[in-house]
Amino acid sequence: MKDRKRRFFTKAELNEMGTPTVDLIQQAIDAGELEKAKKLARRMFREFSFQHDAWVSWITILSSYIYKHNGDEAVFEAVSECLEELSIAADAYRSQDPGRQAQMLAAGLRAHLTPVVVEEDDEKFTVMMSPCGSGGKLISNKKYETSKNLDKIKKPQRITFGRGDFPMYCANCAIENIFPMEKTGYPIWVTDAAEKLGETPCKLHIYKDPDRIPAEYYERFGLKKPAPKSSM
């Protein structure tokens, strides 16, 4: 019979086990233990990556369940409810100048633990994950083929950018465009969905002057571009 009173760790080891990895990294740097700090940084990435991928799958499975049992529009309503909860953060984002918005969007996308590309021209910023660390990653890892709980939306419609057999998680990107457009008349950013999802990155555009957002970004969702604020 195994000794049930056996101790596996010292008190110091237990304390370290419960210390946030970022704190351990800082402690290692302060102590001049750079190789240990690098090792801990890689550990922290693995910790975040496991949790991140689990949540992406969880969101997709939950949305798929809603789709199976309640239909397409229920997916839109459910995600919109989540976006409504985040409206305070969205308002804070909108209050920033376009350059700061680009920085904030890049920071948010870096949370998907993948490289981010940021481009700027005279009228807009374009931000993209390369490769996509969320919906694109599910596709490239063939999760829709190997899991019975991840659905694709069969009918072309506004939450699929007009495409059929559309990956469930990627519908979030369309809804993130539609919801603020319907609520305020303007998107927070506009999304160009990749032609080949999971192979090339989707592009998120932040227009320096929201009134210069092309009408086509509204029309694809059955919406009408509002009159310029300057003329209202």
Whether residue 202 contacts residue 128, with contact meaning beta carbons closer than 8 Å, is answered with yes
Is 63 a domain residue?
Answer: yes
- Using one digit for the tens of pLDDT, what is the confidence trace for 66-78? 999 999 999 999 9
SS3 155: coil
Is 42 a domain residue?
Answer: no
Pairwise CA distance, residues 137 & 194, whole Å: 13
Count of domains observed in the chain? 1
Q: Pick the residue with more confidence: 30 or 3? A: 30
- Using one digit for the tens of pLDDT, what is the confidence trace for 119-161? 999 999 999 999 999 999 999 999 999 999 999 999 999 999 9
- Using one digit for the tens of pLDDT, what is the confidence trace for 174-202? 999 999 999 999 999 999 999 999 999 99
Q: What is the DSSP letter of 9?
A: S
* pLDDT(232) > 50: no
* pLDDT(1) > 60: no
Is 148 a domain residue?
Answer: yes
* pLDDT(169) > 90: yes
Is 35 a domain residue?
Answer: no
pLDDT of residue 96: 96
Whether residue 73 contacts residue 160, with contact meaning beta carbons closer than 8 Å, is answered with no
Is 20 a domain residue?
Answer: no
b/e per residue 60-81 (b: at least 16 CB within 10 A): bbebbebbeeeebeebbebbbe
Could you tell me the residue range of the domain that residue 80 belongs to?
A: 52-226
* pLDDT(25) > 50: yes
Predicted structure pTM score: 0.90
Is 4 a domain residue?
Answer: no
Q: For position 73, which CATH number holds?
A: 3.30.1380
Is 19 a domain residue?
Answer: no
Pairwise CA distance, residues 201 & 207, whole Å: 19
* pLDDT(20) > 50: yes
User: How far are the Cα atoms of 16, 45, 172 from residue 22, in angstroms, in the given order?
Assistant: 12, 10, 31
Confidence label for 8 from pLDDT (cuts 50, 70 and 90): very high
Confidence label for 230 from pLDDT (cuts 50, 70 and 90): low
Is 120 a domain residue?
Answer: yes
Pairwise CA distance, residues 222 & 98, whole Å: 26
